[in-house]
């Protein structure tokens, strides 16, 4: 986040999570992707990761870790056999060719109390093959068909356990339709964020139901979206969200982890397999603050800031409306910051506009940090005077999206 080291926050989070495992007697944890924020994490991050997994094993807790779009699946998978030999850690950085290899049985394969269907982030190559002269609609249809087929295969592979009364949980790392997104949550399947719904992932198609009586998953644990939320008003399909805020747009979000209590069906009592869901609030170790206004208003807000005991230095995003020179604005902000456990990570000076000017210039106030590569490409198309919905523009968008995805995949290796 703006080049800041968050090792200290991650350490506090992991220690807190280990305490939750102890006090709640957690038997298994699911990390739904984006274990790291880049394909080649620093050694300090890898050390934290492996130290945490060692503590999880010491607590006799299982763990399922899936790869996200920010992760290198190959890097995550490199030590998977060693981790699996320890008996409790399962890593699925990339999708398995055989859906049966995606099934994880806790606490044991012989007497499972819950079965997990591990599905990491599915890249373009996992879902479709490129064809000549494809339109964007063709690509979307192929991607949707690939996603539906993958989850149908997982439902089929795990159906015997559901019929035996064992709760089945699926994972996923993608954007499904109807989710609230924020900064840093780009569409990860060629601009097809509304490709599938949560029900598409969880519930069997009519063809599946007619063919073999396949039923849906008891719970779907999703990653990628930072804001905790259910999907389509279905309590059993949800994003737990990121455990710490990853951008200033999340400054007011309430971070949480989701605790699942699973129970097998009991034929003698006539009960079905159930999963009870509750959330646990994650403490705030570092506050993210946003202030906007005149120079005097922002400086007054800074001077009024009061840290609480034990919290880390707060970070701020300020936007100042002023006609003064940037050096003068910065000097005033630095004076207000003196002695405060507060750092401004993002400073924006906006020239004060008259009421007449404000509507005309509002759309021009764009910060580069707020733009995605797709945004820049869209603006370039507009600058060239190309018609937004023309066939040529659709082909250009598709080609750009494919090139961008190839670049991201290469960077993840």
**pLDDT reported for residue 367:** 56
| Intervals of CATH 3.30.160.720 along the chain | 288-412
Q: Show the tokens assigned to 358.
A: 């404000």
Classify domain 7-281 at the CATH superfamily level: Metallo-dependent phosphatases (3.60.21.10)
Asked whether residue 190 carries a pLDDT value surpassing 70, the answer given is no
Residue 354: pLDDT band (50, 70, 90) is low
Residue 331: pLDDT band (50, 70, 90) is very high
Asked whether residue 207 carries a pLDDT value surpassing 90, the answer given is no
**pLDDT reported for residue 142:** 87
C-alpha to C-alpha distance for 256 and 279, rounded to whole angstroms? 6
pTM value surpassing 0.75: yes
Share of the chain above pLDDT 70, in %: 87
Mean pLDDT of the chain: 88
- pLDDT digits 0-9 by tens, 227-246: 999 998 899 999 999 999 99
| Intervals of CATH 3.60.21.10 along the chain | 7-281
* Long-range contacts of residues 92-101, Cβ cutoff 8 Å, at least 24 apart: 92/64, 92/65, 92/66, 92/67, 92/118, 92/119, 92/120, 93/66, 93/67, 93/120, 94/67, 94/120, 94/126, 95/119, 95/120, 95/122, 95/126, 95/150, 99/150, 99/153, 99/154, 99/156, 99/157, 100/157
Residue 357: pLDDT band (50, 70, 90) is very low
Share of the chain above pLDDT 90, in %: 66
C-alpha to C-alpha distance for 14 and 36, rounded to whole angstroms? 14
**pLDDT reported for residue 351:** 82
Out of 3.40.50.2300, 3.30.160.720, 3.20.20.70, 3.40.50.720, which CATH number does the structure's domain 288-412 have? 3.30.160.720
- pLDDT digits 0-9 by tens, 78-125: 999 999 998 899 999 999 999 999 999 999 989 999 999 999 999 888
**Averaged pLDDT, 249-272:** 94
Residue 185: pLDDT band (50, 70, 90) is low
């Amino acid at each position: 986040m703006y080049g800041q080291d968050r090792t200290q926050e991650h350490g506090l989070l992991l220690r807190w999570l280990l305490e939750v495992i102890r006090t709640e007697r957690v038997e298994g944890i699911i990390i739904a992707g984006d274990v790291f924020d880049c394909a080649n994490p620093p050694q300090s991050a890898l050390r934290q990761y492996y130290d945490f997994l060692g503590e999880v094993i010491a607590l006799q807790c299982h763990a399922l870790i899936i790869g996200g779009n920010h992760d290198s699946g190959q890097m995550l998978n490199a030590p998977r056999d060693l981790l699996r030999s320890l008996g409790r850690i399962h890593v699925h950085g990339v999708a398995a060719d055989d859906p049966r290899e995606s099934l994880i049985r806790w606490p044991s394969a012989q007497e499972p109390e819950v079965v997990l269907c591990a599905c990491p982030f599915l890249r373009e190559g996992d879902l479709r093959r490129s064809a000549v002269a494809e339109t964007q609609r063709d690509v979307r249809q192929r991607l949707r068909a690939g996603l539906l087929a993958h989850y149908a295969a997982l439902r089929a592979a795990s159906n015997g356990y559901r019929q035996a009364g064992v709760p089945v949980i699926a994972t996923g790392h993608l954007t499904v339709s109807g989710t609230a997104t924020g900064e840093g949550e780009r569409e990860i399947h060629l601009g097809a964020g509304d490709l599938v719904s949560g029900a598409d992932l969880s519930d069997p198609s009519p063809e599946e139901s007619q063919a073999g009586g396949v039923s849906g998953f008891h719970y779907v644990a999703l990653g990628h979206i930072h804001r905790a939320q259910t999907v389509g008003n279905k309590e059993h399909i949800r994003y737990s969200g990121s455990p710490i805020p990853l951008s200033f747009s999340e400054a007011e979000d309430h971070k949480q982890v989701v605790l699942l209590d699973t129970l097998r069906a009991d034929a003698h009592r006539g009960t079905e397999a159930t999963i009870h869901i509750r959330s646990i609030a994650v403490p705030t170790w570092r506050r993210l603050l946003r202030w906007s206004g005149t120079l005097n208003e922002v400086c007054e807000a800074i001077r009024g800031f009061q840290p609480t005991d034990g919290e880390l230095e707060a970070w701020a995003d300020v936007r100042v409306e002023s006609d003064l020179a940037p050096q003068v604005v910065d000097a005033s902000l630095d004076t207000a910051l003196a002695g405060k456990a507060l750092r401004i990570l993002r400073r924006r000076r906006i020239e004060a506009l008259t009421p007449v000017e404000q509507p005309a210039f509002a759309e021009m106030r764009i910060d580069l940090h707020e733009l995605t590569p797709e945004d820049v490409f869209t603006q370039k198309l507009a600058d060239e005077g190309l018609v937004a919905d023309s066939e040529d523009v659709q082909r250009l968008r598709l080609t750009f999206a494919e090139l961008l995805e190839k670049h991201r995949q290469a960077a993840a290796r």
